Each structure stands twice: as structure tokens, then as C-alpha cells.
């Protein structure tokens, strides 16, 4: 019995040793599997990281390529960069005709008479100034006066140049001789046509001054005293043409401007500057109303709220400029900066234009870039066949200059119907030209003639 008991104890110890051995074997297998899993995950994560870095590097390379691509598909050549620098230099130099040799040559002006047009200094935007420029060209046409743009109106002169032969020949000398700006100009030669002045414009005195023998009159304006019909020969492109640097920044082929342009004016200050037609419902109705013609980049959106570029592009397929930021032309106010679209999704032609824009943006500096963007938008409105816009003198002045079909979008009525209004000079009716108004037709003749600044 004792031997049997000893054998039994030995057998139990053997089983315990086997059991411990099996546990060790099981633990080793589990550890190996866990280790392999961890290693596999690390390998996968490393591979994903390497792939991510490769994709990011490729995108960076593509972005750099798109930024410096020309129509030939190669990087921008040094000659192209030199051409851009030359355009910028020419636009800057021509802002001041004192840099022009012709300005130092005294010219016999004969019996010609002139109007020097000055930029408004009261915080008025470019639209008000362009309506004033139209007004003085109408008066110049009526009273046989040539219009000269003041050298101090730098932004306009950076983007456009005169083509009227008389202005090209005579204005440099006139501007050099009469270089003062209001209020330093002589009161008897200075005229204001500003619709926000408390004292209304004395039309009798205005007609007398325009008819006078004074060779040079200085004018600041944002309106004509009761607009007449605009004759076909008085249009923007009869007097001015875009400079090469402006054409270079166009976001569409210069020979094929978009036929339908929409201008949406975001309020300057929410709750203070009330603008109709810009609520979410208004914008949605407008987007659904206008069909897309992608081949002509139409409709094309012009706006001071750059986030609307993305909204109308994503929701309705509209085209827009490359602008990232838009500044108020006079106040220097900046609206929100927008997120840009990836160049990879663009057509080849659009990538080329983006590359040119980015190159010009780097070369011209912030202030002159704002000028180019502003006048590019105005040029787009001038070239349009149809314009839909919320109330703004920027678009109103462009369509008035060109006699373009247009409607002011006043939002939705209580039934949800779109309100598309005729322009005020059409709704109010056009008046006779100032030169054709008889004494009884002239207004405010008892008002004092004064220049306020």
C-alpha cells in the first residue's frame, strides 16, 4: 500500500508539472500572436503614414506646378515674368503724366475747353465715382469739352487709359498746368454734382459755367442733374480701354466675357446698411432662377462677400473670380476671407488663369491688387449682355454707361415671387439734356451756388 501511495503521489506531481508546462506553452503562443498583431498594425500605420506623406508631397508639387504653369504646360518662363513686370511698371508710370515726355511739351490747345474729373473725397465707392464720370462725359458731349482724368485718381489710371485722340494729345499738358485738387481749385472753376448734398444743384449756374469761356473746369460728381437719355456714342469703351495688366488678370478669356453677370452687394454693416435681395431665401431663389452655361462661364458672380463665390459654385455651378479677399474701394473695409477651391478640380484653362493671377498677386502688392480686382469686376459688368444685381451704384453705373439690359433684384415678396425692378432712370423717365433745357425747365435756380467740402 505504501508503494502504491508513493506512485500515486509521483503521478500527481507529474501531472502538475505537465499542467504548468502547458500553461507556459499557451502563454507563449498568445504572446507571439499579440506581438505579431502589434507589429502588423505598426507596419500598416507606417505604410499609411508614408502614403499620406507621398500624397501630400504630390499635392504640394501639383500646387506649385499650377501656380507657375503657362499655356504650354511648362513653368512660367522668365520672359513671361518680365512681361508682367513691364506691364506693372507701365501702368504705374502712366498714373502720373509727369513721367510722360509729352507732359513736358507745351501744346497749343486752340479754343478747346476741358473738364478735369476728380475722384470724390467723401468716402464714396467706385460706383458713385463711375456714375459721376458718366455724367461729366455727357456734359462734355453737350458743351464740347474734353474730359481729362485727374492724375490723382490712381486706381482708375492704373487699370484704364484714354483712347479719345483729343484727350490723349491734350490732357497731359492740361493736367500738368492744372494739377491742384479740390478744395484747392478756384471756386469759379469748380463744380460739384453730388446727390447727397443738402443744397440742391443750381442748374442755371451749372449750365452757365459749362457754356462759359473758361478753358478748364474741375468737377467732382456722382450724378447728373436729372439724367437724360444716354446716346450710343457716349459709352465707356469709346473713351477708355483696359491696360494689359488688367486683361492679364481676367478670370475668363478676354474674347469671351460671360454674357450673364450677377452682382450681389453685401451690406457694409449688418443692421445699419440694409440691402434687399441677400437673405438665404433670396439667394436660393436667384440661384434656381438662372441656368448655367459652363462653356461661357455664365452666370458669373461679382460680389464683395467672397463666401458667396463658394456657395453659388457648389450649389448652382456659377463661375466667379479667383479673389480671396475683397476690400471696399474707399473705406478699406475687408469682408471675410474665403476658403479656396483646389486647383486639381479645375480645367486646364482655368488653372492657367489661376497661375497668372497668383503670379500677378505676388508682384503688384496688396493695394494695387485691390485696384485690379475692383476694376476687373467693373470691366466684367461693362462687358455683360445681361446684369442682375442688388442695389449698388457699382453695377448701376456699369449698366448705365453701356445701356445694358439689367434688373435690380429686390428679393422676394410675401408670395415668394422674385422682384426684378427696372432701373430708376427708366422708371422715373429721362429728362432733356441740360444744354436743351430752357429757362423754365431749369431747376433750383434760386439756390446759392456753393462748393462744400
Domain ranges of the chain: 1-67, 100-229+432-441, 249-427
Place of cell 442695389: 391
Higher pLDDT, 407 or 428: 407
pLDDT confidence of residue 68: 39
pLDDT confidence of residue 348: 80
Say which range, 77-86, 97-106, 170-179, 419-428, has the weakest mean pLDDT: 97-106
Torsion, CA 143, CA 149, CA 152, CA 154, rounded to 10: 150
Q: Is residue 100's pLDDT more than 90?
A: no
pLDDT confidence of residue 85: 79
pLDDT single digits (tens) 152-205: 999 999 999 999 999 999 999 999 999 999 999 999 999 999 999 988 999 999
Average per-residue pLDDT in the chain?
A: 84
- C-alpha closest to that of 397 among 127, 93, 61: 127
pLDDT confidence of residue 267: 78
Other C-beta atoms closer than 10 Å to the C-beta of 249 total: 26
**What CA–CA distance (Å, rounded) separates 54 from 132?**
56
**What is the average pLDDT across 35-41?**
78
pLDDT single digits (tens) 111-132: 999 999 999 987 789 999 999 9
Say which range, 55-69, 193-207, 309-323, has the weakest mean pLDDT: 55-69
Q: Over pLDDT 70: what percentage of the chain?
A: 78
Other C-beta atoms closer than 10 Å to the C-beta of 192 total: 22
Amino acid at each position: 500500500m505504501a508503494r502504491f501511495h508513493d506512485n500515486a503521489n509521483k503521478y500527481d506531481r507529474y501531472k502538475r508539472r505537465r499542467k504548468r508546462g502547458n500553461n507556459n506553452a499557451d502563454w507563449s503562443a498568445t504572446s507571439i500572436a499579440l506581438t505579431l498583431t502589434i507589429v502588423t498594425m505598426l507596419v500598416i500605420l507606417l505604410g499609411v503614414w508614408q502614403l499620406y506623406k507621398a500624397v501630400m508631397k504630390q499635392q504640394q508639387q501639383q500646387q506649385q506646378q499650377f501656380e507657375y504653369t503657362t499655356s504650354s504646360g511648362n513653368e512660367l518662363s522668365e520672359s513671361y515674368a518680365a512681361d508682367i513686370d513691364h506691364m506693372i511698371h507701365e501702368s504705374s508710370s502712366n498714373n502720373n503724366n509727369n513721367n510722360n515726355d509729352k507732359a513736358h511739351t507745351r501744346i497749343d490747345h486752340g479754343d478747346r475747353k476741358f473738364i478735369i474729373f476728380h475722384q470724390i473725397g467723401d468716402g464714396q465707392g467706385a460706383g458713385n465715382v463711375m456714375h459721376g464720370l458718366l455724367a461729366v462725359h455727357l456734359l462734355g458731349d453737350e458743351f464740347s469739352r474734353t474730359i481729362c482724368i485727374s492724375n490723382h485718381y490712381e486706381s482708375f489710371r492704373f487699370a484704364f487709359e484714354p483712347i479719345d485722340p483729343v484727350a490723349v494729345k491734350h490732357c497731359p499738358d492740361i493736367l500738368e498746368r492744372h494739377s491742384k485738387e479740390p478744395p484747392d481749385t478756384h471756386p469759379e472753376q469748380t463744380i460739384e454734382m453730388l446727390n447727397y448734398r443738402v443744397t440742391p444743384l443750381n442748374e442755371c449756374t451749372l449750365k452757365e459755367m459749362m457754356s462759359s469761356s473758361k478753358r478748364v473746369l474741375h468737377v467732382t460728381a456722382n450724378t447728373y442733374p436729372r439724367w437724360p437719355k444716354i446716346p450710343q456714342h457716349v459709352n465707356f469703351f469709346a473713351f477708355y480701354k483696359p491696360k494689359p495688366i488688367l486683361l492679364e488678370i481676367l478670370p475668363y478669356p478676354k474674347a469671351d466675357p460671360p454674357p450673364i453677370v450677377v452682382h450681389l452687394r453685401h451690406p457694409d454693416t449688418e443692421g445699419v446698411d440694409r440691402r434687399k435681395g441677400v437673405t438665404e431665401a433670396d439667394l436660393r431663389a436667384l440661384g434656381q432662377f438662372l441656368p448655367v452655361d459652363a462653356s461661357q462661364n455664365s452666370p458669373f458672380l461679382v460680389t464683395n462677400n467672397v463666401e458667396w463665390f463658394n456657395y453659388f459654385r457648389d450649389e448652382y455651378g456659377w463661375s466667379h473670380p479667383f479673389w480671396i479677399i475683397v476690400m471696399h474701394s474707399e473705406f478699406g473695409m475687408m469682408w471675410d476671407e474665403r476658403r479656396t477651391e483646389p486647383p486639381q478640380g479645375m480645367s486646364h484653362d482655368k488653372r492657367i488663369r489661376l497661375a497668372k493671377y497668383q503670379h500677378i498677386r505676388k508682384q503688384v502688392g496688396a493695394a494695387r491688387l485691390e485696384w485690379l480686382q475692383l476694376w476687373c469686376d467693373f470691366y466684367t459688368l461693362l462687358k455683360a449682355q445681361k446684369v442682375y444685381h442688388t442695389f449698388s451704384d457699382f453695377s448701376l453705373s456699369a449698366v448705365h454707361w453701356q445701356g445694358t439690359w439689367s434688373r435690380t433684384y429686390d428679393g422676394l415678396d410675401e408670395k415668394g415671387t422674385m422682384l426684378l425692378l427696372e432701373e430708376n432712370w427708366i422708371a422715373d423717365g429721362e429728362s432733356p439734356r441740360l444744354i436743351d433745357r430752357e429757362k423754365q425747365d431749369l431747376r433750383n435756380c434760386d439756390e446759392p451756388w456753393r462748393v462744400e467740402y
